[in-house]
């Protein structure tokens, strides 16, 4: 009788595990969601300003549904669009990324790149993200980074990879500083560091990976809103607990969403992103997302 009960329990667990895997890989990873946040960073009596934050598209050429969903976000009428990297997952994905972004390319925009804008993904053991110890970064094939960069710059978007600039959006002067991806040590914040300009109405810091060394430096320079991606929100989370890993030194409690950056007056928004690693195409308790940030007076 005990043996039969054990077999029944094992079969039930197997069925639950199979159903969970099917849900995560076939359903939830396609449940694209728009998150909305109010961020109190503007001066008193200032008119709200809308920022559409996109990240971690990890685009494959055939992902037309994702492309269409992103393109339809033009209906949110953003004043400014920021993308925080990992746009590509294939050498042939640039047209798909541009198809998704095309409705926004006549709006003010800015971008940084992530590691998967330079080198393609390769298979990795998912447990490496939750086990302790150093993890070697394994690189795949070269991706057409320069093609994507040229298309975005030609559209008028600001390349913030280790760069700093001021642009106009929503009738405001916005100062932005960004770094190339800290995850693969391409960041050089020292080359753009310095106190914020008193002549700008708003100050944004942008990075793909929310590495504390970069966020601390941006916050110390006075940037009021910091934008990042990379974490996928944990990608596979535990209900009522959250992310098991962030793949950087960001606390798990800050794996996605809007938070005060500790020890500063800066806000940090981390996007859980819209894609998945192609060799682990699943999400659980962590829907793919874009975010509309409505900046309001303090």
Question: Of 1-5, 106-110, 178-182, 209-213, which range is least confident?
Answer: 1-5
Mean pLDDT of 117-143: 69
Q: Could you tell me the two tokens for 68?
A: 């269409």
Q: Looking at the predicted structure, is the pLDDT value of residue 45 above 60?
A: yes
Q: Looking at the predicted structure, is the pLDDT value of residue 2 above 70?
A: no
At residue 14, the 3 state secondary structure works out as helix
pLDDT attached to residue 11 = 41
Strands 225-228 and 267-270: parallel
Helix (H) or strand (E) holding 98, with range, is helix 94-101
pLDDT attached to residue 140 = 84
Between 6 and 150, the more confident residue is 150
pLDDT attached to residue 124 = 56
| Residue indicated by tokens 């298979």 | 123
pLDDT attached to residue 14 = 45
Domain ranges of the chain: 31-297
Domain 31-297 has CATH 3.90.1150.10: no
* Portion of the chain with pLDDT greater than 70, in percent: 86
Q: CA-to-CA distance for 217 and 210, rounded, in angstroms?
A: 12
Q: Looking at the predicted structure, is the pLDDT value of residue 220 above 50?
A: yes
Q: What is the 8-class DSSP label of residue 37? A: E
Mean pLDDT of 120-131: 60
pLDDT attached to residue 278 = 75
pLDDT tens per residue across span 138-167: 678 999 999 999 999 999 999 999 999 999
Q: State the pLDDT confidence band at 25, using cuts at 50, 70 and 90.
A: low
pLDDT attached to residue 53 = 98
* Portion of the chain with pLDDT greater than 90, in percent: 80
Q: CA-to-CA distance for 208 and 86, rounded, in angstroms?
A: 8
Q: Looking at the predicted structure, is the pLDDT value of residue 10 above 70?
A: no
- How high does pLDDT run on average in the chain? 90
Q: State the pLDDT confidence band at 13, using cuts at 50, 70 and 90.
A: very low
Q: Looking at the predicted structure, is the pLDDT value of residue 98 above 60?
A: yes
Q: In what order do the strands lie in the sheet with 225-228?
A: 163-169, 172-178, 202-206, 225-228, 267-270, 257-260
Q: Looking at the predicted structure, is the pLDDT value of residue 30 above 80?
A: yes
Q: Looking at the predicted structure, is the pLDDT value of residue 12 above 50?
A: no
Indicate the length of the chain as a whole number.
Answer: 298
Question: Of 20-24, 25-29, 63-67, 227-231, which range is least confident?
Answer: 20-24
pLDDT attached to residue 279 = 74
Mean pLDDT of 290-295: 98
Between 34 and 7, the more confident residue is 34
Q: CA-to-CA distance for 210 and 75, rounded, in angstroms?
A: 28
At residue 176, the 3 state secondary structure works out as strand
């Amino acid at each position: 009788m005990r043996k039969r009960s054990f077999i029944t329990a094992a079969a039930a667990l197997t069925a639950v595990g199979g159903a969970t895997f099917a849900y995560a890989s076939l359903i939830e990873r396609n449940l694209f969601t728009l998150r909305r946040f109010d961020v109190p960073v503007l001066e008193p009596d200032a008119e709200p300003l809308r920022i559409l934050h996109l990240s971690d598209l990890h685009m494959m050429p055939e992902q037309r549904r994702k492309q269409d969903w992103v393109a339809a976000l033009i209906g949110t009428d953003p004043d400014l669009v920021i993308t925080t990297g990992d746009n590509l997952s294939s050498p042939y994905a640039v047209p798909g990324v541009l198809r998704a972004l095309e409705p926004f390319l006549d709006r003010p925009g800015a971008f940084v790149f992530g590691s998967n804008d330079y080198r393609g993904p390769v298979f990795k053991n998912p447990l490496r993200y939750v086990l302790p110890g150093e993890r070697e970064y394994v690189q795949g094939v070269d991706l057409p980074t320069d093609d994507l960069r040229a298309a975005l710059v030609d559209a008028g978007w600001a390349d913030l990879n280790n760069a700093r600039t001021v642009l106009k959006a929503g009738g405001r002067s916005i100062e932005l500083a960004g770094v190339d991806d800290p995850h693969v040590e391409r960041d050089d914040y020292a080359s753009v560091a310095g106190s914020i300009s008193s002549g700008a109405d708003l100050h944004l810091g942008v990075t793909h990976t929310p590495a504390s060394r970069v966020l601390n430096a941006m916050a110390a320079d006075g940037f009021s809103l910091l934008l990042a991606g990379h974490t996928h929100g944990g990608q596979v989370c535990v209900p009522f607990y959250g992310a098991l890993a962030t793949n950087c030194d960001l606390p798990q409690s800050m794996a996605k969403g809007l938070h005060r950056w500790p020890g500063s007056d800066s806000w940090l928004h981390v996007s859980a992103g819209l894609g998945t690693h192609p060799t682990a195409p699943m999400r659980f308790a962590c829907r793919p997302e874009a975010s509309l940030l409505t900046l309001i007076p303090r």
